[in-house]
Structure 1
């Protein structure tokens, strides 16, 4: 495995930008300060959302780009744009309590439709490319998790936080990305959900640890896709670097 990257819950606010190049590929991980409140309010109006996450890192980005121009990247704005697609996916008993806690928000008074206040999103990354594009198809192939556990030298690692909201002390969100070494990528999206009373035997300390709590939650949905990379003259060089 060449590298692994995660976007997890951290509170670092120091701006930084890391780049790593291998063959025709370049990985960019940029982390900037939290968005200003006036910019968040403007964005909420543009997106027709009554409220956005308390901590929104709109300039943070994780991008994997080929010299031919195509890329896949992860950013907060595009992730928020997909929130409306998951409005009915999560049912939380304390939803009204959360709404009441933000009753003084000017935007919340203008809501005329149900609102996904958990910011649950089906965002799977943003595909970039002009002329050459990554082809996406559903697949039965799965990510080899055992290979990810292998103790190999990690040539690059970084964590990029896109947004976070404590949901009135009732929730946590996490996005993670890992890359391997073939001429295609496997993208696996899943949703897991369980009631607290179904987790009586799980230590409360694990509730906010995505890697630990995931194995205890009920799997609701899994979508596996194969992202075929465009065939270019650089492909042979790519394979030699990755293998």
Structure 2
């Protein structure tokens, strides 16, 4: 998504854009919001990640240095998104492999001289909904592998993100989309984890999305949305909503949806047709440093 930011909008919001190599972002109302995008893991990095994750399987394309960082400067609260923590979630959840027709099974991960038995979750489905820490005067180096997913405290709540206010025509001061990992499942579908952020004068909003389509078999969508309204002198409150949806192609077809996989290229269009299997809302109240 390319867009031009109006300098008057930035000035009116008290915001400042910055860009340096693979880093870009915005400073606004005590927040530093930054995205970093780089190339996929090198072969040596792949070996390192496999050792640390205790696996011999990784997605075809892992963007190990890609990250989105949102830091509240006065409290040191940092929310960030990275591929390693997401894959650690995949490894821990350890879902059984999605069953595919016998003919298709030969296509998955197959080598010319052997048939690979699928005894792991080759879809790389993850329960990941972000990482976080309280950081004091340090800068997160995205190339370093995180040792702790989160020490932030999220509490269940009944509040919901105000999607109506987000639909208002407020100027966008900063936007980016960061791909964390992707796999085309040997041309039998797609497994994709991305995070998008947009910053407006009144708030920031992000969507972390895991999108899976195993052609002819299964569709899975796991969305995590976060929203923070800038609160002036008060400590900001962040809402986080997670919604997991999934369905088989067979179940969708029984409800009249075409069986053709081409119909399911856009998760935003098909999402409302997928039944919800898990949903929760939480909040994170940021406290000042002691």
Q: TM-score normalised by the shorter chain: which range applies?
A: 0.7 to 0.9
Take 2:239 and 2:70, find their aligned partners in 1: how far apart are those partners?
14
Q: Deviations over 1:52-93 (max 9, x none)?
A: 0101000000000022322100011111110034323x7622
Give, in whole Å, the separation in 2 of the partners of 1:28 and 1:197.
42
Change (3 A) 1:98 1:28: farther
The residue aligned with 1:6 is none
Aligned length: 215
* C-alpha RMSD of matched pairs (Å): 3.1
CA distance in 2, matches of 1:99, 1:192: 28
**Larger RCO: 1 or 2 (CA < 8 Å, sep 6+):** 1
Q: Of the candidates 261, 271, 286, which is equivalent to residue 214 of structure 1?
A: 271
* Match 2:124 to one of 111, 119, 122: 119
- Residue aligned with 1:173, SS: strand
Name stretches of at least 5 consecutive residues in structure 1 with no aligned partner: 3-14, 234-243
Distance 1:98 1:48, change over 3 A: farther
- Identify the match of residue 240 of structure 2 among 177, 183, 187: 187
TM-aligned CA deviation for residue 130 of structure 1: 4.1
Confirm or deny: 8 A CA contact 1:18 1:29 kept in the other structure. yes
1:199 is paired with a residue whose SS is helix
Of Structure 1 and Structure 2, the greater strand share is in 2
2:192 matches 1:173: yes
Which residue pairs with 2:134 in the alignment?
129
- What SS does the corresponding residue of 2:185 show, helix, strand or coil? coil
Name the CA distance, whole Å, in 1 between partners of 2:44 and 2:191: 24
Determine the structure 1 residue equivalent to 2:250.
Answer: 197
For the 8 Å contact 1:135–1:229, the answer to whether it is kept is no
Closer/same/farther in 2, CA of residues 185 and 79 from structure 1, 3 Å limit: same
Cross-structure match for 2:212: none
TM norm structure 1: 0.76
Q: Does the 8 Å contact 1:85/1:122 carry over to 2?
A: no
